[in-house]
Structure 1
Amino acid sequence: MNKFKHFLGIDVSKEYFDAVLILNGAKEKPIHNQFANDSKGVKTLNQWLKKQGATSQQTLVCLEHTGMYGKLIIRYLMGFNYSLWVEMSLKIIRSMGLQRGKNDKIDAERIAIYAMKNQQEAIIYKAPSRTVEKIRNLMSLREKLILTKASLIRNSKEMKSLDPEVSKLSDKFQKQTIKGITSDLKQIEKQLDLFIKEDE
C-alpha cells in the first residue's frame, strides 16, 4: 500500500528553486511555482502546499542531491515534518530515459513524477548528527584548502620555466600563504580528531 497521495518535485539552484506538485497522482495536472532559496522562500512553499491541500503527512518531497544549495530547504521542510527523499540525479535521469526539453520547471516535474512512480523505493532522509555535520563541513573546507595549496605550488613551478625573475617574486609572495594553509590544515586535522573522540 502506498503511503503518499501527493508528490512534490523540487529543482534547486543557488538563487531560487522550482517546485512542481502532483496532487492525488494526477500527473496530467501538475502545479508549478517558484520560490527564493532562502528561509522566507521555504516558509512560503510550506504555506503554498497547505493551500493546495498537500499536508506533510500525505506528501512525499523529492529533490536531487545538490549539496549546499539544498541544505536550507531540507532543514526547513524537516522542521515542517515533511517526508524527504534526497536522490542522486543520475538515478532520476536513468529512470526517465531520453527526455526532450530542459528547464527548471520541467526538471522539477520529472522529479515529482519519479517520486510518484518509485515511492515504494523511497529512502526517507534522516538528518545526520550535529557532529557528523561539523565533520562534513570541516572536510569540505580541508579539501578546498588542499586544492588551493596545490594550485599555488603548481603555479610557482610553471612560472620557473617561463620567467625565473617573476617566479622568485611569486615564491616570495606565496610563501606565507602556503605556510598559513599548511598550518590551517594541521589545525583542521586536530579539530576533526576532537570531534570524533567527543562523539562515540
Structure 2
Amino acid sequence: MKRYKYFIGIDVSKLTLDFAIMNVEKLIYHKKIANDDTAIASMLVELKEINGFKLSNSVFGMEHTGIYSNKILSILERKKANIVYENPTHIKNSLGNLRGKNDKLDSIRIATYLKKLKDDLRLWQGKRKIIQELASLVALRDRLARTKRALKTPLKEDHLFVSTKFAIQNEKFSSRTINALEADIHILD
C-alpha cells in the first residue's frame, strides 16, 4: 500500500484546470491554470518545489469530464504519476451533502476525497492508443448517424404536413449533405 503525502485535486474544464494541493494536514494552496500543455508542465515544475513533494508520494485526482481531461491525463501518465479518475457522482456521494459549487471548491473537494480514501484509492490505468482511437471513431460515427437522422426525419414528415413542392425542395437541398454523411458513415463502418 502506497503512503501518499500530497493529494492534488484537479477540477477540469474546457479552458482551465483548478489545482488544490493538500498534504495530510491541510490545504497548502490553490492555483488556476490554462488547460494546455505549457501551463500543465509549468505547474508540475512548481509542484516539485514544494518541500518533500515527489510524484511517487503524491496522488492526482479528477472527475470524468470527457475529452477536456485528455491533456492532463496524458502528461501525468507519461510522468508515471498516481492518478485517480473518478465518476463525479461517486466523489460527491463520498463527501456527503456539501453546499456551494465553484471550480476552487470542487478541486478542494476532490483533494479531500483523495485524502479521505487514501488507503482505498483505485488508480487509473490509461487505455491503449488503439482502444482510444477506436472509441473516438465510434463516437464520430454515432454523431454522424445522429446528424443524418436529424436531417432525414423532418424530410419524411414534410410529405405529411407541408406541400409536396416544399417537401421536394427540402429533399433536394438536403440530398448532398445526407449523401455525404452516408458516405462518411460507410467509410467508418
The reply to whether TM is greater than 0.5 is yes
Which residue of structure 2 lines up, in the alignment, with residue 44 of structure 1? 42
Matched, 1:167 2:167: yes
Which residue of structure 2 lines up, in the alignment, with residue 11 of structure 1? 11
Which residue of structure 1 lines up, in the alignment, with residue 93 of structure 2? 94
What is the aligned residue count? 187
Find runs of 4+ consecutive structure 1 residues off by over 3 angstroms.
157-163
Q: 1:169 to 1:33 in 2, by over 3 A?
A: same
Whether contact under 8 Å (1:159, 1:167) holds in the other structure is yes
Which residue of structure 2 lines up, in the alignment, with residue 135 of structure 1? 134
Distance between the aligned counterparts of 1:13 and 1:159, measured in 2?
41
Whether contact under 8 Å (1:42, 1:77) holds in the other structure is no
Matched, 1:77 2:83: no
**Does the residue aligned with 1:127 lie in a helix, a strand or coil?**
coil
**Does the residue aligned with 2:148 lie in a helix, a strand or coil?**
helix
Q: 1:59 to 1:174 in 2, by over 3 A?
A: same
Matched, 1:152 2:151: yes
Kindly state the Cα deviation for residue 132 of structure 1 after the two structures are TM-superposed.
Answer: 0.5
- Mark the runs of 5 or more structure 1 residues left unpaired by the alignment: 190-200
Letter in 1 for 2:172: K
Whether contact under 8 Å (1:20, 1:112) holds in the other structure is yes
**Does the residue aligned with 2:20 lie in a helix, a strand or coil?**
strand
Distance between the aligned counterparts of 1:97 and 1:160, measured in 2?
54
Whether contact under 8 Å (1:63, 1:87) holds in the other structure is yes
Distance between the aligned counterparts of 2:167 and 2:41, measured in 1?
53
Kindly state the Cα deviation for residue 154 of structure 1 after the two structures are TM-superposed.
Answer: 2.1
Alpha-carbon RMSD across the aligned residues, in angstroms, is: 1.5
Kindly state the Cα deviation for residue 98 of structure 1 after the two structures are TM-superposed.
Answer: 1.2
Given the alignment, which residue of 15, 33, 41 partners 2:31?
33
Kindly state the Cα deviation for residue 169 of structure 1 after the two structures are TM-superposed.
Answer: 1.9
Whether contact under 8 Å (1:35, 1:42) holds in the other structure is yes
Q: 1:105 to 1:171 in 2, by over 3 A?
A: same
Kindly state the Cα deviation for residue 157 of structure 1 after the two structures are TM-superposed.
Answer: 3.3
